[in-house]
Amino acid sequence: MGEKISLLFPDQTLNFKTLSDITIHDIGMDVIVKKLSTLENERIYIMNVMKMMAADPFNAGYRADVFDDIYKNKKMRDTLLKLFDRINFLREFGSFKRDHEHEPGVWDLLHRLEEIRDYIECIEAIHACLAETDIHSEGLNRLRDYVNHIYEDNALDALKKDIKDLKANTGNLKSVTVGINLNERFEATDLGVISINSKPFSKSHIVSHFIDKVTGDSINKDADWDGSYRFDEFTIKGKITNDKDFVIPAFSPLALMSLRHIPEGEESERGITNYMDEVAGRLLSKTVRHLREVLGKYAMLAITDITDLMPEFIYYIRWAEFIEKLSEKGFLFCKPEICKEADTSLAMDAKGVYNLKLIENGGISFSDIVLNSLRFTDDLWLYILTGANRGGKTTITQAIGQLYFLAQGGIYVPGISFSYRPVDAIYTHFPADEDKTLDLGRLGEECKRFKDMYDNATKDSLFLLNETFSTTSFEEGFFIAKDCIKAILQKGIRTIYNTHMHKLAYDIDEINADASKFKAASLIVLNQGSERSYSIKVAPPEGMSYANDIAKRYGVTFDMLTEGK
């Protein structure tokens, strides 16, 4: 069982590309991920996982199957969340992750016993949880086999027995008797341990006798003991306090609480608790040695493997909770599927999909959303998307990016069905902020960004272009865009190009004449008179719909300008 179990990264050798924050923002997923959790560290982890993309069908399918199991088994999710609350300190604060250059004292070792005990209980609980759940994914079945191996391993029983025995042994450590040597001014000069006791101090035992002696008429003349105690001396070098004018009364409670052992020539102080730790370690030397042997043998027994899975489970659980709430409100989601290898010409088949940002602010029902369908095939590899202003071109462009982003994270996607071939990265080219174009100018900035994208992209990448090269004159933008489209087709990059340059769509045949395997197509947002349909269709561009729309919006058609004159 040497293989590390992961629910997100089944192939530890797989190389990933990391999406930029700009791309995440452009497709609108930064806002969505923020809604998944109130805890910043969870949101950061989820986003960091989803930013990592690889065009690997196995990885994507593996994640989708794990999420499907977790989503469908709410009882398992709830049980695991409770367990994670119990073992969270093992991952965040557990002593097994500390620096072990120094020898841990008895108190540290006893604390680690508690950690191991909690770990065993959690292994048993996870074992029971997975055994009772109907799971189908390779990831969770791997985990179930791994937990079964640990659970059924004789070493676990031996560990439980060792912990029980050690707890019985060290559990008798209830108090330590301390002796203090005094100088002629009744200042503490030496501190030593007399005995280690199985009972706590009380007035009826040694403390009572001691206090009676030192506060009464009779004071012992020497420090001889009757043989039942052992004096283990530690000399306190230097002053007890930093205040030269302050002397702690020798027998006050403050003296016992504040004594410090300050090694000569060192700046650091060691508190009385650490001193007692060292004393207890000496007096329990055999037990401590055995304790260290036990923890040395078992402390790393798959603890990191199990606890490292906690954030992976949280990743899936937070998405499951989010989608579950939306599904209860009537929104439609589906499990993404990998395209069948037999159909090499099909790279995406999305049916009835929509943009998650439509439901971002609430106040909208599923019946208000227009569903759209789109395919990537060899003949429909690059879409030139045109249509009226505010007709939904950016919305559908974002939606395609969201589909890949969610699917490759293993998460259900918004829609009726979605099959696809994974991409190695998503590249977006949306209008830049004004302050980012000052040095190069708008056109120069756009050209530089596109060149960087193109150089880094492969045939397995996805391009989402939004009004690219529209900031200059039509003639300049058109010729640059046309050359870029031809280059994209030659490299074989799946692309949605949302643009107002309708002439690009009119020249589809000319563009495709120079293409080899992959072709471009015209995609339009349908108009229904003055109403926006938000529906898309593969069809030639609808004339000058954009110009007419703008003209009507600002009242500059001939009829509007001359009305009543």
Q: Which amino acid is at 517?
A: K
327 in a structural domain: no
473 in a structural domain: yes
Statement to judge: residues 135 and 184 lie in one domain: no
pLDDT at 527 over 60: yes
Statement to judge: residues 192 and 65 lie in one domain: no
Statement to judge: residues 430 and 410 lie in one domain: yes
Statement to judge: residues 250 and 356 lie in one domain: no
| Cα distance between residue 220 and residue 209, in whole Å | 12
Statement to judge: residues 161 and 201 lie in one domain: no
Q: What is each CA distance from 346 to 82, 103, 233, 340, 518, in whole angstroms?
A: 43, 61, 82, 9, 11
257 in a structural domain: yes
pLDDT at 252 over 50: no
* pLDDT value, residue 377: 96
* pLDDT value, residue 485: 95
Statement to judge: residues 223 and 122 lie in one domain: no
- The mean pLDDT of 107-131, rounded to a whole number, is 75
Statement to judge: residues 463 and 375 lie in one domain: yes
pLDDT at 121 over 80: no
Query: Residue 287: which pLDDT band, with cuts at 50, 70 and 90?
Result: low
258 in a structural domain: yes
Number of domains in the chain: 3
Radius of gyration of the chain (CA): 36
Query: Residue 530: which pLDDT band, with cuts at 50, 70 and 90?
Result: low
366 in a structural domain: yes
| Cα distance between residue 425 and residue 52, in whole Å | 8
Statement to judge: residues 181 and 164 lie in one domain: no
Statement to judge: residues 547 and 473 lie in one domain: yes
- The mean pLDDT of 519-543, rounded to a whole number, is 82
Q: What percent of the chain has pLDDT over 90?
A: 43
The residue that leads in pLDDT, 449 or 476, is 449
Least confident of 41-55, 230-244, 363-377: 230-244
Statement to judge: residues 526 and 476 lie in one domain: yes
Statement to judge: residues 373 and 442 lie in one domain: yes
Least confident of 165-179, 441-455, 474-488: 165-179
* pLDDT value, residue 544: 57
CATH of the domain at 532: 3.40.50.300
Statement to judge: residues 154 and 65 lie in one domain: yes
pLDDT at 226 over 60: no
Q: Which range marks the domain in which residue 545 is found?
A: 333-562
Nearest to 353 by CA among 311, 395, 382, 381: 395
* pLDDT value, residue 526: 85
Tell me how crowded residue 410 is: count the other CB atoms within 10 A of its CB.
Answer: 28
Q: Which amino acid is at 379?
A: D
* pLDDT value, residue 26: 96
pLDDT at 267 over 60: no
Least confident of 23-32, 253-262, 281-290, 425-434: 253-262
Q: How does pLDDT run across 151-187, given as a tens digit for each residue?
A: 776 566 777 777 777 665 555 666 667 777 777 776 6
pLDDT at 53 over 50: yes
- The mean pLDDT of 499-503, rounded to a whole number, is 90
Beta strands 382-386 and 520-528, pairing class: parallel
Q: What is each CA distance from 373 to 355, 386, 525, in whole angstroms?
A: 12, 16, 12
End-to-end Cα distance, the chain: 88
Listed in order, strand segments (DSSP E) in 360-470 are 372-377, 382-386, 413-414, 417-420, 426-429, 462-466
Least confident of 36-40, 248-252, 284-288: 248-252
11 in a structural domain: no
21 in a structural domain: no
153 in a structural domain: yes
User: Highest mean pLDDT: which of 37-51, 164-178, 251-265?
Assistant: 37-51
pLDDT, mean over the chain: 78
The values of phi and psi at residue 78, to 5°, are: -65, -40
Q: How does pLDDT run across 330-385, given as a tens digit for each residue?
A: 999 999 999 987 778 899 999 999 999 998 766 789 999 999 999 999 999 999 99
| Cα distance between residue 446 and residue 436, in whole Å | 10
